[in-house]
Structure 1
């Protein structure tokens, strides 16, 4: 069975997060661009991801969807890249904590606010993210404790959380706070982050030119 890494993505999607992770990984991979509409919702692609969404990763016979899961899977599948604390390392606690905090409370709170779906204050205790304000304040604390989320070393958690912050700052769904801008700026300057942006931006330009 082939161990080829295949990333199913679209340059105007959360697939940009997975692309950045692939570039940080330093392993050869193939990217399959899946168009919106029928290509993404059709039977062929739904056989890979029944949700009809990108990104999806196929590694040999293993299929992984959801950006946070893709980041965590790749970090563990290729430990030589040093993108996750080793099992037993105490830094694995904050690594998992903030990776999944961003995948759960941050994603839910930011999306709800962006679409005007914020719950009333009395419903906060029934929601996983509580309130948008509490979620953003907690996120600010997380990125203010050090250069990276899992101590002094960049990890897959920074790819995912950093992408959420950079995206939110760009589209105004996350408040511009000094801690967010400093953290996001550090991560955006990484060579792998720049490569990933250049690849997806070039693909976007090609699509726009093609009409």
Structure 2
């Protein structure tokens, strides 16, 4: 199952999360860039992801979408990388991976859209309110050096991306715990390698500048 992996992405998308995961996993993969508004909504790509969104991977003929799912899948598909949790890490690994994919994602996007659920709607929206979600996330990243304990796992790729992007773009506050946590992750060789590849790809996709 280690071969035959195609990565569908765009460098200005959540595909950067999966690029990081692929680099951490040491996977050999082919990159297919899917453009917004054209090939991303085309018949061929919709056959892979009917949502018309990136990222997606096809590995050994099987499609995986959703960043958190792809991170967890790659951890299992490439066990030699050591990204999957051991028995003592498993509870926190799954807890915080899906907390970031669920409550954090909902809270951050609704907050950015200036949608504030009324107090009586808290149960309906799952995350309660933005402030509570941010406080819980802060406690989670402060409990250990990494989200599941003392060792980096695939859950850190997803949680770390949420924290890194959130503090960069202002959708999360720049609390010391967030900055310290992402600071550790951003020093990783695989993170730097993935970022460099996506930055280079983004530069290639920029339209040529007209002469002055």
1:55 aligns with 2:37: no
Match of 1:64, SS state, is strand
Question: Do 2:2 and 2:27's aligned partners in 1 also have CA atoms closer than 8 Å?
Answer: no
Q: Distance in 2 between matches of 1:23 and 1:2?
A: 13
Shift of 1:170: 0.9
Shift of 1:206: 1.4
In structure 2, the partner of 1:185 is: 183
Match of 1:57, SS state, is strand
In structure 1, the partner of 2:150 is: 152
In structure 2, the partner of 1:124 is: 122
Question: Do 2:100 and 2:159's aligned partners in 1 also have CA atoms closer than 8 Å?
Answer: yes
- Note the aligned Cα RMSD (angstroms): 1.3
1:25 aligns with 2:25: yes
Match of 2:7, SS state, is strand
TM-score, L = length of structure 2:
0.95
Residues 126, 59 of structure 1: CA spacing in aligned structure 2 closer, same or farther, 3 A cutoff?
Answer: same
Deviations 1:80-128 (A, max 9, x none): 1100114xx0310100000000000000000000011121222112221
Q: Distance in 2 between matches of 1:50 and 1:93?
A: 31
Question: Structure 2 unaligned runs (5+)?
Answer: none
Q: Distance in 2 between matches of 1:191 and 1:183?
A: 16
Q: Distance in 2 between matches of 1:168 and 1:32?
A: 26
Q: Distance in 2 between matches of 1:128 and 1:210?
A: 45
Structure 1 stretch displaced more, 146-155 or 119-128: 119-128
Q: Distance in 2 between matches of 1:153 and 1:182?
A: 15
Match of 1:98, SS state, is helix
Match of 1:197 among 195, 198, 203: 195
Deviations 1:18-67 (A, max 9, x none): 00000101121111111111200011100000000000010011100000
Question: Structure 1 unaligned runs (5+)?
Answer: none
Structure 1 stretch displaced more, 113-122 or 179-188: 113-122
Residues 10, 99 of structure 1: CA spacing in aligned structure 2 closer, same or farther, 3 A cutoff?
Answer: same
Shift of 1:16: 0.3
In structure 1, the partner of 2:167 is: 169
Q: Distance in 1 between matches of 2:85 and 2:170?
A: 32
**Paired residues, number:** 209
Q: Distance in 1 between matches of 2:39 and 2:113?
A: 26
4+ residue runs of structure 1 moved beyond 2 angstroms?
A: none
